[in-house]
Amino acid sequence: MPRHILASLHFNENVHRDTQLSKEGEKYFKVTYPKFKLGYVKDIKKLLFTLSKAEMLEVFNRYSSKAPAPLSAQFEDRVDKQSAVKAYEENRKKRSTVLLFPTSAEQDTLQQRSSVAAEAVTGPRTATVRKCSKCKRPGHNRRNCTVSL
């Protein structure tokens, strides 16, 4: 069963479940502290609203020169979006027309060619008859051998 279906069933089963109780019988709640609530957001807002436009421009100029280039700048042979979409659609059309495996007639001819090539290398295959390792006669193995030596 796919995981998302199993997850959905599990979620639906637990939606109306009662709140977990502690050993003392009180409702149990898990408290988490997300990183965005650490307080620096308030400090940034306070700083933004107290600085004048000239001071903001000065800070912007000071730090914008230190900003790294975007990661997409690493790709020198980058094409524009329209060209990329066009190339994608053309490749998709090609993929839909390419057969994933040869037709049955082609498979038969390929198999015949490979068997002919293998025969040319190893010689014609002859059926080997297995013989008993004890008496050297065909038709049985050592365990079932009735010949006593």
Residue pLDDT, tens place only, 43-97: 888 888 898 999 989 988 998 888 888 887 777 777 788 888 888 888 878 776 6
Q: What is the mean pLDDT of the chain?
A: 80
Q: What is the DSSP string of the chain?
A: --HHHHHHHHHHHHTTPPPPB-TTSPBP------GGGSSHHHHHHHHHHHS-HHHHHHHHHHHHTTPPPPGGGG-TT---HHHHHHHHHHHHHHHHHS-SS--HHHHHHHHHHHHHHHHHHH----PPPPB-TTT--BTS-STT-----
pTM of the model: 0.25
